[in-house]
Structure 1
Amino acid sequence: MLESAPPALTDDAVLGGRLRLLQPARGHRAGHDAILLAAAVPAAPGERAADLGAGIGTAGLAVAARVPGLSMVLVEIDPGLAALAAENARRNGLDDRVSAAAADIGDIGRANGPPELPADRFDQVLCNPPFLDPGRHAASPDPDKRRAHLPERPRGDWIAAALRLLTPGGTLTLIERADALAGVLADLDVRWGAIEIVPVHPRPGAPASRVLVRARKGRRTPLALLPALVLADVAGRPSEAADAVLRSGAALPA
């Protein structure tokens, strides 16, 4: 139990102070992508959710803080970050329904996998998979930042893990670079449907920089392109919609 941040950690506020997070002072840090991902998860009270590649738990904790009665497992391969995620759940009074598991996504949802991550039991899975192209981006010398940004597993492995965990009709929500959308859709094979896409634009008139994608296991409903989220106006001021998400923890329309 950590009552204050050790020198290698910082104690930071997100969601306008609604969450306090301990995180490494160096390496990958909590950012807007995790909060945007959390806002796109269409979770309901009493559901069961898993955050894959949770890091210190930012996205999963943001969902749990917004949805009363939701249970959440924060899944992170790095045991140190998984321990921080568990501590962040405790510090925010969410540890009665949020836990952390140090696990590889290749093992979850399998007969010999972690017992807290059984197959076909989760209503929601969210993930922010590493999405920099190693052929176009130099690897960071920091191992935590390198693991967070450059994929050691293809995106399809993350989607396959979500498929194992979800109940029939359960929802996968992920965030990706906008220029990777074609690859995301290719990885969402015939076992997925009811795909919804929310483009995220940095400002009016600018190309989308991110896409939020939702897909449901075993559904056949056609794809839908939903209204875009624009983060700032032409002067760089946060938009009303972005402010509601990033500061107040509001959900995007489901």
Structure 2
Amino acid sequence: MTCAQSDIGEDAFLGGRLRLYQPLSGHRAGHDAMLLAAATPGGPGDRIVDFGAGVGAAGLAVATRIDNIDLVLIERDETLAGLAGRNALLNRLAARVCVLDIAAEADAFAAAGLGPDSADGVLMNPPFNDAARHRPSPDQSRRAAHVADPSTLDIWTHAARRMLKSGGALSLIWRSDGLAEVLGALGRGFGGIAIRPVHPDPRRPAIRILVRAIKGSRAPLRLCPGLMLSDEMGQPDKEAQGSLAGGEALAFAPAGKGGFQ
């Protein structure tokens, strides 16, 4: 993929606190990236790795919320990786950009300083549309970002499992009708799986699932309350807007005395 300067625009996210250069055509970051960022836990000093980072939207949104993380953005497309680096500078956020294919062998990751058991958290928004059921976009970058082959999810979760420390968290977003695929891919090496369905509004089925899984955990699966993007009146939901506009973390884990955090 190549982009001339005139093919690049600037968009605002998180209520204007995050600004991103991204191509005017092809795959563009949006709500999925911001929801994924809001679903990603972490603390100061944690190494957080964004798989398939594109222009860096999700990873940089995490860094906007959590100060002083060790952020690594992995992207195989050199042009998008270049924009990710520009976006880190634009927002005065520290991030290391690695041009690397998630399907690469472990040696390639290690050569980039990303060896086994080195990350506290991994977040990812893999291509998730089934080519057999979705008409591929004629735009090459959009097609690569959206259309998966049957091995995509297994390859990405395997790479995340290898890189995460024991107890590290994997956060991902996927299409809602692919829940069985996600659970299958996480069946080896992960536990403590928590799932939040994402609905357009309370009347319609979920369109996405946000998933958090812990490497080495033996905790049971939890199906968390659904996240509504809009309420019954079509107005933006308060929790969703807190994440999309305010950059607030989404609740996943039960807190004490029946609460939810």
TM-score normalised by the chain length of structure 1: 0.94
Give 3-state SS (helix, strand or coil) of 1:148's partner. Answer: helix
Distance 1:41 1:208, change over 3 A: same
CA drift at 1:112: 4.0
State how 1:78-157 maps to structure 2 within 5 Å.
Answer: 78-95=77-94, 98-107=95-104, 110-113=106-109, 114-152=111-149, 153-157=151-155
Q: Which residue of 2 aligns with 1:55?
A: 54
Hey, what's the Cα distance between the residues in 2 that align with 1:220 and 1:64?
Answer: 29
Q: Deviations over 1:76-127 (max 9, x none)?
A: 11011011001100110003xx11111011226x234342322110000000
Hey, what's the Cα distance between the residues in 1 that align with 2:244 and 2:138?
Answer: 29
**Which residue type is aligned with residue 215 of structure 1?**
A
Give 3-state SS (helix, strand or coil) of 1:233's partner. Answer: coil
Give 3-state SS (helix, strand or coil) of 2:129's partner. Answer: coil
State how 1:90-239 maps to structure 2 within 5 Å.
Answer: 90-95=89-94, 98-107=95-104, 110-113=106-109, 114-152=111-149, 153-239=151-237
Contact 2:191 2:214 in 1 (8 A): yes
Hey, what's the Cα distance between the residues in 2 that align with 1:233 and 1:189?
Answer: 34
Hey, what's the Cα distance between the residues in 2 that align with 1:241 and 1:178?
Answer: 20
Hey, what's the Cα distance between the residues in 2 that align with 1:131 and 1:107?
Answer: 19
TM-score normalised by the chain length of structure 2: 0.91
CA drift at 1:234: 2.4
Q: Deviations over 1:151-189 (max 9, x none)?
A: 255210010010111001111000011100011001112
Give identity over the alignment, percent.
Answer: 49
CA drift at 1:139: 1.3
Hey, what's the Cα distance between the residues in 1 that align with 2:72 and 2:108?
Answer: 18
Give 3-state SS (helix, strand or coil) of 2:249's partner. Answer: coil
Q: Deviations over 1:41-69 (max 9, x none)?
A: 11111100100011001000000110011
Q: Deviations over 1:5-35 (max 9, x none)?
A: 9211001111110111000011011110000
**Which residue type is aligned with residue 165 of structure 2?**
T
Q: Structure 2, unaligned stretches of length 5 or more?
A: 253-261
Q: Which residue of 1 aligns with 2:257?
A: none
Hey, what's the Cα distance between the residues in 1 that align with 2:129 and 2:188?
Answer: 26
Give 3-state SS (helix, strand or coil) of 2:83's partner. Answer: helix
State how 1:72-83 maps to structure 2 within 5 Å.
Answer: 72-83=71-82
**Which residue type is aligned with residue 111 of structure 1?**
D
Give 3-state SS (helix, strand or coil) of 2:62's partner. Answer: helix
